[in-house]
Amino acid sequence: MINLHWLYVLAGMVFAGFALGSARDETNPKRWSNAAFWVLLAASFWFGDFFGDIGNGVLVLALVAIAGSHLIGRGSKVSTTPVQREQSSRRHGNMLFLPALIIPFTAFVGTMLFNYTPLKGLNLIDPKAVTLVLLGCGVIIALIVSYVWLRPPALAAVDEGSRLMNGVGWAAVLPQMLASLGVIFAAAGVGTTIGAIVGAIIPSGSVFLAVLLYALGMVAFTMIMGNAFAAFPVMAAAIGVPILIHQDGGNPAVIGAVGMLAGFCGTLMTPMAANFNIVPAALLELKNQYGVIKAQVPTAIPLLIANILILYVAGFHL
């Protein structure tokens, strides 16, 4: 049966490919430290179960040391020339987006077929990991289609993938790190402590005030930690589950889903979400590194207000 472990193997192969591409790039003076960074990440996916807590902790510290020492950089090597890319663009037009669309199509249609046809009874895929496994299958199919159709150089995927990832750098793994941080905070009882403080502040039955603090808390923790996935375990343990769901009888689906959306409003307004807000500014060579954030704030605030209203109305009055 195909499960998440197979997906971890695939992800490890991808990061190992980035390591190989980095090592092959002779134009990059930081190529060996780049390669070391991606090798460590590949090792975490392949052997994380065997490393144990201490081993994985040391691996993370090594990743932080490489990134914190500014040892990740991008070279100038490319697999095709600008002229070749322009020719390919004119020849294929918008059809070049086809491989990218194959990935979500495979995940969506495959999941529907698995859940609503006899395929479910064949036990080919772990039911708990169907969508993620099929997402990985979509990536493989898209890669095969690209090579058969476009006929790029043999190692184009490795070289171009590593070039892109080295340009993004350490921010590429920031969501994974921050999500882990949220779990650590929750396990340390941060959410319980905040919940006790909030419970002492909010008068019994003040549903709107609880909703307001929950949404603003999601925004604040997201802005601090850079990712709503990291903030959610803390705020769910503090306010979402004990107060909004258990005490006030709110709809769990609305509390969870719209609470995450409120957190994403914080993502739009923080430099801590570096992979979303700082890296694009660098890649686009904007004069103001916070230009993306400034452009997003006027959208984030109305969205937050709308999410608060949805939480209150849909969570407790529908």
Residue 182 lies in a domain: no
205 lies in the same domain as 65: no
Give whole-number Cα distances, 179 to 30, 65, 72, 176, in Å. 28, 20, 22, 5
Task: Give CA separation, 202 vs 108, 196, 233, 243, in Å.
Answer: 43, 10, 20, 10
Tally of domains in the chain: 2
- Considering the domain architecture, whether residues 54 and 139 belong to the same structural domain is answered as yes
For the chain, give the percent of residues with pLDDT over 90. Answer: 25
Is 146 in the same domain as 96? yes
> Are 206 and 288 contained in the same domain?
yes
Tokens of 156: 């184009």
Q: How confident is the model at residue 180 (pLDDT cuts 50, 70, 90)?
A: confident
CA–CA dist 144, 215 (Å, integer): 44
Residue 94 lies in a domain: yes
Range scoring the smallest mean pLDDT among 5-19, 83-97, 242-256 = 83-97
User: For position 92, what pLDDT does the model report?
Assistant: 80
Q: Do 130 and 231 belong together in one domain? A: no
Highest mean pLDDT of the ranges 11-15, 76-80, 191-195, 200-204: 11-15
| Residue 161 and residue 27 in one domain | yes
Tell me whether residue 177 is in a domain: no
Q: Give Cβ neighbours of residue 117 (< 8 Å, ≥ 6 apart).
A: none
Looking at this protein, which amino acid is placed at residue 279?
Answer: V
User: Residue 72 falls within a domain, yes or no?
Assistant: yes
Confidence of residue 306 (pLDDT cuts 50, 70, 90): very high
Q: Which two tokens stand for residue 50?
A: 């065997």
| pTM reported for the whole predicted model | 0.71
**Same domain for 163 and 24:** yes
Q: With 90 as the cut, is the pLDDT of residue 313 above it?
A: yes
Over the stretch 120-150, which tens digit does the pLDDT of each residue have?
667 777 778 888 888 888 999 999 998 998 8
The answer to whether position 175 is within a domain reads: no
Check whether 80 has a pLDDT greater than 80.
Answer: no
Q: Would residue 266 count as lying in a domain?
A: yes
Asked, for residue 247, whether it belongs to a domain, the answer is: yes
31, 157: one domain: yes
pLDDT > 90? residue 183: no
| pLDDT value for 126 | 76
The pLDDT value recorded for residue 221 is 87
Q: For 214-270, what is each residue's pLDDT tens digit? A: 999 999 988 888 778 778 888 888 888 888 998 888 899 999 999 999 999 999 998
Tell me if 184 is assigned to some domain. no
- Is the confidence at residue 304, as pLDDT, over 90? yes
Range of the domain at 60: 4-169
**117 and 202 share a domain?**
no
- For residue 116, pLDDT over 80 is answered with no
In this structure, the dihedral spanned by the alpha carbons of residues 81, 84, 88 and 94, taken in order and rounded to 10 degrees, is: 40
* DSSP reduced 3-state for 117: coil
**pLDDT for res 231:** 83
pLDDT attached to residue 140 = 92
Task: Answer yes or no: is pLDDT of 189 > 80.
Answer: no
Please give the pLDDT value at position 297: 93
How much is the pLDDT for 43?
93
The answer, yes or no, to whether residue 118 has pLDDT greater than 80, is: no
Residue 186 has pLDDT above 80, yes or no: no
Using 50, 70 and 90 to split pLDDT, how confident is the model at 290? confident
9 and 78 in one domain? yes
195 and 92 share one domain: no
| Together in a domain, 37 and 163 | yes
Mean pLDDT of the chain: 84
d(CA 171, CA 194): 29
Q: Cβ contacts of residue 299 below 8 Å, gap of 6+?
A: 268
Where does the pLDDT of residue 211 fall: very low under 50, low under 70, confident under 90, or very high at 90 and above? very high
Helix (H) or strand (E) holding 102: helix 98-116
Direct distance between the N- and C-terminal alpha carbons of the chain, in angstroms, rounded to an integer: 41
For 30-50, how does the pLDDT look when each residue is reduced to its tens digit (9 = 90+)?
A: 889 889 999 999 999 999 888
Query: Which pLDDT value is given to residue 301?
Result: 95
